Structure 1
Amino acid sequence: MAEFTLIQKFIIWAIPVIFAITLHEVAHGWAALKLGDRTAQMMGRLTLNPVKHVDPLGTLLIPGVLLMVGGFIFGWAKPVPVTAQNLRSPKQDMAWVALAGPGANLVMGIFWALVAKVGLMLANNGVSVGEPMLFMGIAGVWINAILMLLNLLPIPPLDGGRVLMSILPGRWSWQLSRIEPYGFFILLGLLFFGILGLILMPMLQVILAMLASVLSLHIDQMFGLLNRLF
């Protein structure tokens, strides 16, 4: 199989990245709606139209630059607004709203694993569309795994931080909430010093091993396929 050009890599990554990020946000809004808050619905954010959720920096520029430099690809969409006071049990329900995003990434990861499985079967039978499906499926599993694990880190405003704030007693929850304005800079610092990779990579390797098992491939073959996408 020939190496992909940069344009081909962008095409393979585009759909998985955009939908991984946007459906993550839709899941937050959907969970909030079910728990009593209609804010996202009234603002037109409960839609699968990516245009409504795209953040030019976090959805397009950052993932694109990271892809070009072969880095640790991640991104974000415009946060779906949630009015906690509208929830039936604000403190408790915010945890479920927060978990809905990573939960959506888990479901999408399983979907893309199935896409990769079908793509590999087609590719092995000489069907031309099989190879793009295989690599798009692998990209989909990878980006959704990263977003799921990244958002579960207990750092506000990440989802894991919001879950922890919902669990902690009032005073401790308030102290943790004070970190929120600096959460993005903490995340960038962890990424810059390589700590983020050390935290996430063991879990990502487990997920890749599971995907290799689904595709009936050796883990080294799995890493070889993934490396072609960077």
Structure 2
Amino acid sequence: MGEDRLVLGVPRAAFRPSPIFLALVALFVGSGVFVWNDAGYLRLGVFVFVVSGWLVSLCLHEYAHAVVAFRFGDHEVAHRGYLTLNPLKYSHPLLSIVFPVVAVLLGGIGLPGGAVWVDRHRIPGRARHTLVSLSGPATNVVFALLLAVPFVIGVDLVEHNVFWLGVAALGFLQLTASVLNLLPVPGLDGGNMIEPWLTPQWRRMYDLFAPYGFLLLIALLWNPRLGGWFFDGIDALGGVLGLPTDLSYAGLRLLRFWQT
């Protein structure tokens, strides 16, 4: 029994990374090596590198929600497959994977992707609920900081130039995802962080708007003025972190290999 079970009757298999996630990691690393060595059609290589890296980060974002919820008392997340890092387990494949990838390709925006369903009745304390919601965006923040490190320490951007453009593009996506996920929009991580602290009256209003939070976010970004302010803010934040947004935009243009 001890060899087959970990805690509270949860099989060890519920904690093993899925083959799909491992394949994404292998694709990310392999395409990175491909681009680093200037092999073959580089624009296609950058496309695979950035998109696979983004999908890996989506999985880790949702995994962070699940693992914190598990530690705080909701062990059902393991039975739902959330701790296997399988992207197909994180809500609807179209809304959770396809749509965010399309947003990356066409708009250069790291939209919130999948979602894990957490039974908050199993988690005591408002602070813990907030930490469950915060854990996902925190992974994006960590990724953004790590991807900015090479530029902060001053890597040679001439050698392996295309690779560094891909890194900058991926860092830019993590930066946009960090900001969007921390906005206090109902139904998204930022809103879910403050929801436990609302009064019953405000919580009823929050629950009313929560199903439409994602659409509200899209509408705000679609507005030219608001979208412009958002990207201006991202550029300024990137400058503070040392992430060169001019290289990020160049990398995002490069990964659209179907454009001339």
Q: TM-score, normalised by structure 1?
A: 0.78
| Change in 2 beyond 3 A, CA 1:145/1:138 | same
Q: 1:115 to 1:12 in 2, by over 3 A?
A: farther
Query: Which of 43, 51, 54 is equivalent to 1:17?
Result: 54
Once the two structures are TM-superposed, the CA of residue 223 in structure 1 deviates from its matched residue by: 0.8
Give the Å deviation of 1:116: 5.8
Assess if the C-alpha contact under 8 Å between 2:66 and 2:82 holds in 1.
yes
User: Counterpart of 2:117?
Assistant: 81
Q: Is the 8 A contact 1:12 1:135 kept in 2?
A: no
Amino acid at match of 1:26: Y
Q: How far does residue 209 in structure 1 lie from its aligned partner after superposition? A: 0.8
2:134 to 99, 114, 127: 99
Give 1:155-166 correspondences, 5 Å limit. 155-166=185-196
Structure 1 gaps of 5+ residues are: none
> Hey, what's the Cα distance between the residues in 2 that align with 1:149 and 1:133?
25
**How is 1:168-207 mapped onto 2 (pairs within 5 angstroms)?**
168-194=198-224, 196-207=226-237
Q: 1:55 to 1:175 in 2, by over 3 A?
A: closer
State which of 246, 250, 253 in structure 2 corresponds to 1:223: 246
* d(CA) in 2 for partners of 1:78, 1:158: 11
CA contact (8 A) 1:165 1:174 kept: no
Native 8 Å contact 2:103 2:111 kept in 1 = no
Q: CA deviation at 1:196?
A: 4.8
Identity %: 26
Distance 1:195 1:26 in 2: 34
| Pair 182,50 (structure 1): closer, same or farther in 2 beyond 3 Å | closer
1:43 counterpart residue number: 80
1-side partners of 2:91 and 2:215: how far apart? Answer: 21
CA distance in 2, matches of 1:225, 1:185: 26
The two structures have a TM-score, normalised by structure 2, of 0.70
For 1:200, give the aligned amino acid. F
- Worse-matched range after superposition: 93-102 or 168-177: 168-177
Q: Is the 8 A contact 2:140 2:174 kept in 1?
A: yes
Q: Structure 1 stretch 96-105 or stretch 31-40: which is displaced more?
A: 31-40
Aligned partners of 2:96 and 2:115 also within 8 Å: no
CA drift at 1:154: 1.2
Distance 1:195 1:172, change over 3 A: farther
Which of the residues 153, 157, 172 maps onto 1:142? Answer: 172
Between Structure 1 and Structure 2, how many residues are aligned?
Answer: 214
Structure 1 pair 43–63 and aligned structure 2 pair: CA distance change class (3 A): closer
Shift of 1:104: 1.0
In structure 2, distance between residues paired with 1:27 and 1:164: 18
Rounded to whole Å, the distance in 1 between the matches of 2:151 and 2:91 is: 26
Deviation at 1:64, TM superposition (A): 4.2
Letter in 1 for 2:135: A
